[in-house]
Every structure is written in C-alpha cells, then in structure tokens.
C-alpha cells in the first residue's frame, strides 16, 4: 500500500507539489510519532535509536560534505529547483 501510494503521488503533478511542500516537516512527524510510541510501550531502545537517527539526519542537512561531489543536504534541492526553473 505504501509503495502504491508513493507511485500515485509521483505520477500526479498536483499531489507531488503538495507533498513536496510538507517535506521539511516529515522527519519531525516521524520522530514525534516514534517517541510517543516508544514512550507508550516503554521501549527506551526505540527512543534512543530514533534520537540517533534524527541527530544523524540533522547533521547531514547542516554539514554537507565538502568538495565538488557534495550534493547532499538542502543545497542539492535548492540547486535542482533553480535548474528546473531554468529548463522551463
């Protein structure tokens, strides 16, 4: 079902734009839901794993790799959007 939903979103331009607008919020939603579930079911390992994954994701966004091949983080997306506008 998840794969089917992703396929539908990627094929529909209007849905793709709507989902893209909420992309910066998704890590926070997953983190919050995971913390609440870990707290509810008393799973401290889940909470610690989510904190580590979330910290790693934030570190990648804040400190992209240096050099010409550094195409991760928010800089990659800004550059692509600019290139897409120029292609249109």
Domain boundaries, the chain: 2-87
Model confidence pTM above 0.95: no
Question: Phi, psi (5° rounding) for residue 65?
Answer: -60, 145
Tell me, what's the pLDDT at 79? 54
Tell me, what's the pLDDT at 64? 73
The answer for residues whose C-beta is within 8 angstroms of residue 5's C-beta and 6 or more apart is none
Give the pLDDT confidence of 49-77 residue by residue, as tens digits: 988 988 888 888 788 776 665 555 555 55
Q: Is the pLDDT of residue 46 over 80?
A: yes
Sequence-ordered alpha helix ranges (H) in the chain: 2-11, 13-21, 26-40, 44-62, 74-87
C-alpha separations of 80 from 62, 70, 76 in Å? 18, 14, 6
Q: Is the pLDDT of residue 21 over 70?
A: yes
- Whether the Cβ atoms of residue 44 and residue 38 lie closer than 8 Å to each other: yes
């Amino acid at each position: 079902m998840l794969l089917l939903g992703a396929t539908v979103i990627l094929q529909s331009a209007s849905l793709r734009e709507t989902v893209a607008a909420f992309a910066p919020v998704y890590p926070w939603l997953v983190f919050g839901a995971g913390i609440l579930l870990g707290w509810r079911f008393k799973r401290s390992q889940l909470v610690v794993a989510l904190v580590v994954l979330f910290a790693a994701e934030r570190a990648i966004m804040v400190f992209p790799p240096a050099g010409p091949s550094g195409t991760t983080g928010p800089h990659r997306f800004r550059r692509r959007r600019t290139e897409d506008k120029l292609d249109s």
